[in-house]
Structure 1
Amino acid sequence: MIDFYTFFQRVQQATDIATQHDLANALGVNRSAITQAKRRNSIPQKWVLALSRSFCLSVDWLEFGEGAPEAQPLPQSQGTTSFTVPKVLATLCAGDGSFEVEATPVEEHIFKESWLAQKGTPSAMVLMDVIGDSMEPFICQGDTVLVDQSQTTIRPDIIYAVGFDDSIMVKRVAAGPDKVTLMSDNPAYSPVEIQGDELLSFRVIGRVVWSARDY
């Protein structure tokens, strides 16, 4: 099993992840999970797979240092490049917060890479299911959203996947002096202000760039 320090050095070398806080954001886990992995000096296999898919890195290189950092490109079909986006176990709550935060991939979905590139960085994208009704009618219970984890700068009137303490949510986010405000589209839900020491437990996972709904 790969040790924490070797793994982290390779991740820093091949991505824009510079700190352990960045690593936690990329994996969609709480900072305490990174601390525990560092203490054990080992990395869960699912983290290797998650970062491989998010940043298009070779699993063999991440885990064993073999070959090149970049994964082999996907085959082209009739001149159109496809790109596989993982759907992860974690669920975003359109409400008070979901405690299902695992970044483990459970499915794969194929998109046209040029379409993804118009919305952000394909290698940093994941699909997540939504539970709750606080973002209705724009995002509804049972929708699947596409989250670009490379877009974490808070901008007005944009929907983000965010984490607070040990839960994750989908909300509109407003940044103010020494605080952030989480806002719902459903008027039945009041804004939530996070400020002071609470900000240490807040993170932006990524921007919601697309959603899908079954009928």
Structure 2
Amino acid sequence: MPAFAEIYERIKMATNCRTQMELATVLDIRQSSISDAKRRDTVPGDWYMKLFERQGLNPDWLKQGIGPMYLRTDKGYVPSETPGLAENPAYYGDPQSRSIICPVYGMACTYSDGRPRPELEARGRLAVPGSLHREDLQVFCMQGDNMAPQLRDGAHFGVATGDVNVVSGRVYALFAPHEGVIVRRVFLDGDQESYVLRSDADHYPETRLTPSQLGKRLLGRVIWTMQEL
């Protein structure tokens, strides 16, 4: 039987997890459970079942590196040796068809320019397509309709926290005193001495920030949204 390390590396590669914490989220287990499995040098059987049920991963491939990485299609489980298979399970290794479980944060928090940034509270989880995931991603649930129709109340949106070089007209997430996390379209003012924050809904007033204020409050750029039309 292969050692834990060998199987663990295949699991990390297949799930696009880089840390034990990320993998624990995917498996819905405590991070300490992964450390315990590593110490025992064995992979618990329920990990294989969860990875098959949630991502269609082939248990034989995880254990031995044998066969296709993915077995499940949108019609359910289909053995790779079945004659006349209409869909190639290998396609399910495509980033667009794989998902990564991410925490979803609420926008409410207590922020002040003179204090460290507040800890954000996770309110749930969301399966994000692999093609939309990145290392610096934080996912939020929108509160309010100031950015409708691009971002409606209740929509999920992803923020690239490493993307803090402001380009006028793009949408960014920021911290705001008395509000928490907000979403605004940011423009460099004509005099180039301040930034203008605007909502897409016309009836919301615009605000202005100095470059120093913006640097303190900027969380990152909004790079995608998920919502019903």
The answer on 1:174 being equivalent to 2:174 is no
Q: 1:202 to 1:175 in 2, by over 3 A?
A: farther
Larger Rg: 2
Structure 2: distance between partners of 1:168 and 1:112: 24
Q: 1:149 aligns with which of 161, 177, 182?
A: 161
Larger fraction in strand: 1
Letter in 1 for 2:201: N
Q: 1:214 to 1:91 in 2, by over 3 A?
A: farther
Q: CA offset at residue 155 of structure 1? A: 0.8
Pairing of 1:97-112 with structure 2 (within 5 A): 102-112=119-129
Q: 1:90 to 1:185 in 2, by over 3 A?
A: closer
SS of structure 2 residue aligned to 1:131: coil
Structure 2: distance between partners of 1:192 and 1:91: 19
Aligned to 1:19: none
The answer on 1:184 being equivalent to 2:184 is no
Using the size of structure 1 for normalisation, the TM-score is 0.52
Letter in 1 for 2:170: I
Q: CA offset at residue 169 of structure 1? A: 0.6
Count of aligned pairs: 137
1:149 touches 1:205 (CA, 8 Å); kept in 2?
A: yes
Aligned to 2:45: none
Q: CA offset at residue 161 of structure 1? A: 0.7
The answer on 1:85 being equivalent to 2:102 is yes
The answer on 1:132 being equivalent to 2:149 is no
More contact order relative to length (CA 8 Å, sep ≥ 6): 1
Letter in 1 for 2:160: D
Using the size of structure 2 for normalisation, the TM-score is 0.49
Structure 2: distance between partners of 1:196 and 1:204: 10
CA RMSD, Structure 1 to Structure 2 (Å): 3.4
1:88 touches 1:102 (CA, 8 Å); kept in 2?
A: no
Aligned to 2:177: 165
Structure 1: distance between partners of 2:199 and 2:165: 19
After superposition, give the CA deviation of every residue in 1:142-198 in whole Å (9 maximum; x if it has no partner): 22211121211111221111113353210001134332210111111222112387x
Q: Percent identity?
A: 19
Q: 1:208 to 1:189 in 2, by over 3 A?
A: same
